[in-house]
Amino acid sequence: MTEHELDGLLSARELPTLPADRLKQIETAVTADLTPVKPLAPAGVYLAGFAGIFLGIWVIGCVIAGQRGWRALSELQKLGVLAPLGACVALLVFSIVRQMTPAGKHVRSTAAFSVASFALLLVTMAVVFRPAYESPFVHSGLVCFRTGMAFAIPAAMLFALLLRRGAGLSPALTGATAGGLAGLVGLAVLEVHCPNLNVYHIMVWHVSVTLACMIGGLILSSVTFRRWRSNS
């Protein structure tokens, strides 16, 4: 059986025809509340918007919370943290902008690459930071977690403002991406602010800001989308 013969069979399949009354129904429903809409701004505008929000809140966070952590880091640690963090942020920004419109290019691959770069960030952190004894592990950790969230939540709200005009075909993925990006704002602020170089402190309390935001974004976007769909 050749490909040509299979093509012939596929195109010769008898499929039911669309009922004319259903077509009329659709036309009536669509044209009933027809109002002009403003097309979505070019992707570059949204790329700049997401990147601008990230950088803006990061800089504000560093100014408000202080940069003691940055001064405590060695050159290798600075490079080991900032390089994968920057790659992860860039990929997430690309992914989220592409998720805003149906038929966005490479939506899944950019999301997968950003997860890979986040994994690389974790591995690098585990390598460049050393374990150290820390008596108030939970207390100092919670302080860092709260500080990270204090900057991640406003970032998430601003990202949601930008996202509200998007199509949201995969709300769970979009929510997780936006949440992850907001969480990275918190993580980036903490890496500059927190002078605690204990690897366990960083892996548990700094990274948990990103994970908490990612899960929060996933849940919130799924619930919001379900409500939006049931209302419409």
Partner 1 sequence: MGGSSERQLEGSHLDPEPSGITIEQLMLRYQQADAGAATALIEQLSPQLYRFFAAQLGNPDDASDMLQDTWLRIHRVRHTYRAGEPLLPWVYAIARRVRVDNYRKRRRMSMREVAVEILPETPSKTEATGELSRFDQLIADLPASQREVLILLKVNGLSLEEVALATSSSVGSVKQKAHRAYERLRSLFPSLRAGKGAVL
Cβ distance to partner 1 smaller for residue 142 or 228: 228
112 scored as a contact of partner 1 (CB under 8 A): no
Residues 182-221 that bind partner 1 (CB under 8 A): none
Tell me how far, at minimum, the Cβ of 18 lies from partner 1, in Å.
Answer: 4
**Whole-number Å distance between alpha carbons of 146 and 177:** 21
Cβ distance to partner 1 smaller for residue 78 or 165: 165
Contact 182, 155 (CB under 8 A): yes
Question: Looking at this protein, which amino acid is placed at residue 198?
Answer: N
Return the ∠ at Cα 82 (arms to 77 and 86), rounded to 5°.
Answer: 165
Cβ distance to partner 1 smaller for residue 77 or 174: 174
23 scored as a contact of partner 1 (CB under 8 A): yes
Cβ distance to partner 1 smaller for residue 98 or 201: 98
29 scored as a contact of partner 1 (CB under 8 A): yes
25 scored as a contact of partner 1 (CB under 8 A): yes
Question: Looking at this protein, which amino acid is placed at residue 209?
Answer: V
Contacting residue, 74, 109, 119, 157, with partner 1 by CB under 8 A: 109
3 scored as a contact of partner 1 (CB under 8 A): yes
Query: Where does 103-206 have alpha helices with state H?
Result: 107-128, 137-163, 171-193, 199-201
* Three-state SS at 83: helix
CA-based R_g, the chain, Å: 23
Tell me how far, at minimum, the Cβ of 196 lies from partner 1, in Å.
Answer: 41
Cβ distance to partner 1 smaller for residue 91 or 194: 91
Contacting residue, 77, 117, 170, 177, with partner 1 by CB under 8 A: 170
Residue 187, number of CB atoms within 10 A of its CB:
28
List of residues 6+ apart from 60 with CB closer than 8 A: 151
**Whole-number Å distance between alpha carbons of 222 and 219:** 5
- For partner 1, the binding residues (CB under 8 A) are 1, 3, 6-7, 9-11, 13, 15-19, 22-23, 25-27, 29-31, 34-40, 42, 100-109, 165-167, 169-170, 229, 232
